[in-house]
């Protein structure tokens, strides 16, 4: 019986050390910040956030360009960079996600897409095409087009669109923002319909800039735009602050915010959040 007594005695002394080890392991897993470790959020992490309605968003933009002293080209550059950074985080350039089709509308949302295309080129996305069916002649937009041409980025016409959908892994929807009013008119209704067809049938990934085109800013998809009844982008990049329609985003989809250019005083005035952006990133994941 003596060997059995020795084993019992051994475990008797070992148990306190096991308990300490289990406790420390639990603390590391469930309270990582207690030990001041720089642990990144997991992909499943979700962040609560405040939204800003359409009318307030328009007024906020006006104040950014008056009281805050920003110019439209500055805001467009920051927006496009945020879109490109978000895409890089979710769909980094690989053999399966380096081809991009950027759909640009005639307004500022389209300008955000043009800026994003330039940054994506610099980030290593080598096959980028732009479809810009109704270009704007304002200098800021013509300048963006010239920049993209100097980078060797191709602008396509309607006859090339279907082939571009086929060849692209990523589709950037920068057709319409929060100024859109239904109904969806040609040629944009057919562009949206074809985009959604490729997403459904070929699993093309859609990235929406600020507002999924055709969504009501406050309500999300409505009967006023039947073309987008089932539209759910794979990645939504909200700009400055999320809009109420972002609450309609499917919980399995990704949602990023790009707004690292406003201070807390301005945010408090407008009732929006300034989240903790990691490192030097211009974007933060909300969902």
- 3-class SS string, 223-285: CCCHHHCCCCCCEEEEECCCCHHHHHCCCCCEEEEECCCCCHHHHHHHCCCCCCCCCCCCEEE
In order of 1, 117, 175, the CA distances from 84 in angstroms are: 72, 7, 16
Are residues 170 and 231 both part of a single domain?
A: yes
From CA 233, how far away is CA 256, in angstroms rounded? 12
- 171 CB neighbour count, 10 Å cutoff: 25
Average pLDDT of the chain is 86
Are residues 141 and 235 both part of a single domain?
A: yes
Residue 181 lies in a domain: yes
Are residues 110 and 25 both part of a single domain?
A: no
Are residues 23 and 109 both part of a single domain?
A: no
Give the pLDDT score at 95: 75
Are residues 95 and 201 both part of a single domain?
A: yes
Give the pLDDT score at 28: 29
Report the greatest alpha carbon distance in the chain: 96
From CA 234, how far away is CA 259, in angstroms rounded? 20
Are residues 31 and 93 both part of a single domain?
A: no
Binding residues for (6S)-NADPHX: 108-112, 177-183, 210
Are residues 76 and 120 both part of a single domain?
A: yes
For residues 92 and 216, is the Cβ–Cβ distance under 8 A? no
Give the pLDDT score at 179: 84
Are residues 31 and 58 both part of a single domain?
A: no
Are residues 77 and 213 both part of a single domain?
A: yes
Q: What angle is formed at CA 48 by the lines to CA 255 and CA 241, rounded to 5 degrees?
A: 60
Instruction: Tell me which residues of the chain have a pLDDT lower than 70.
Output: 1-48
Residue 41 lies in a domain: no
Q: Residue 150: which residues within 8 A CB-CB, separation 6 or more?
A: none
Residue 45 lies in a domain: no
* Per-residue pLDDT reduced to its tens digit, 5-54: 444 444 444 444 434 333 333 332 323 332 222 323 334 445 668 999 99
Residue 42 lies in a domain: no
Give the pLDDT score at 30: 29
Residue 46 lies in a domain: no
- Which residue reads 């800021």 in tokens? 140
Are residues 255 and 142 both part of a single domain?
A: yes
For residues 47 and 259, is the Cβ–Cβ distance under 8 A? no
Give the pLDDT score at 47: 62
User: For the chain, what is the domain count?
Assistant: 2
Give the pLDDT score at 96: 73
Strand order of the β-sheet with 99-104 is 154-156, 127-131, 99-104, 170-174, 205-209, 235-239, 254-258, 283-285
Binding residues: 108-112, 173, 177-183, 210, 213
Comparing C-alpha atoms, which of 178, 270, 259, 174 is closest to residue 218? 178
Give the pLDDT score at 45: 45
Q: Residues 207, 96, 166, 130: is their CA dihedral positive or negative?
A: positive
From CA 34, how far away is CA 13, in angstroms rounded? 29
pTM: 0.83
In order of 30, 31, 131, 175, the CA distances from 134 in angstroms are: 53, 53, 9, 10
Residue 47 lies in a domain: no
β 283-285/254-258 pair status: antiparallel
Binding residues for K(+): 109, 173, 213
* Domain span holding position 122: 54-285
Give the pLDDT score at 260: 95
């Amino acid at each position: 019986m003596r060997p059995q007594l020795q084993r019992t005695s051994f475990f008797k002394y070992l148990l306190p050390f096991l308990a300490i080890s289990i406790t420390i392991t639990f603390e590391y897993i469930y309270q990582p910040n207690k030990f001041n470790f720089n642990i990144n959020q997991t992909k499943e992490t979700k962040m609560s956030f405040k939204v800003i309605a359409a009318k307030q968003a328009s007024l906020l933009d006006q104040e950014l360009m008056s009281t805050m002293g920003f110019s439209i080209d500055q805001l467009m550059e920051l927006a496009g960079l945020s879109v490109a950074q978000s895409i890089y985080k979710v769909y980094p350039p690989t053999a399966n996600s380096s081809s991009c089709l950027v759909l640009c509308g005639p307004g500022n949302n389209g300008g955000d897409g043009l800026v994003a295309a330039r940054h994506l080129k610099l980030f290593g996305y080598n096959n980028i095409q732009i479809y810009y069916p109704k270009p704007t002649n304002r200098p800021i937009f013509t300048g963006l087009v010239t920049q993209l041409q100097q980078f060797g980025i191709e602008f396509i016409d309607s006859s090339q669109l279907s082939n571009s959908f086929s060849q692209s892994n990523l589709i950037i929807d920068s057709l319409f923002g929060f100024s859109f009013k239904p109904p969806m008119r040609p040629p944009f209704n057919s562009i949206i319909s074809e985009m959604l067809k490729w997403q459904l049938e070929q699993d093309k990934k859609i990235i929406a800039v600020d507002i999924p085109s055709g969504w009501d800013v406050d309500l999300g998809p409505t009967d006023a735009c039947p073309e987008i009844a089932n539209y759910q982008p794979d990645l939504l990049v909200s700009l400055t602050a999320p809009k109420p329609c972002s609450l309609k985003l499917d919980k399995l989809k990704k949602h990023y915010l790009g707004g690292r250019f406003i201070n807390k005083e301005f945010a408090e005035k407008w009732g929006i959040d300034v989240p903790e952006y990691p490192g030097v990133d211009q974007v933060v994941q909300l969902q």
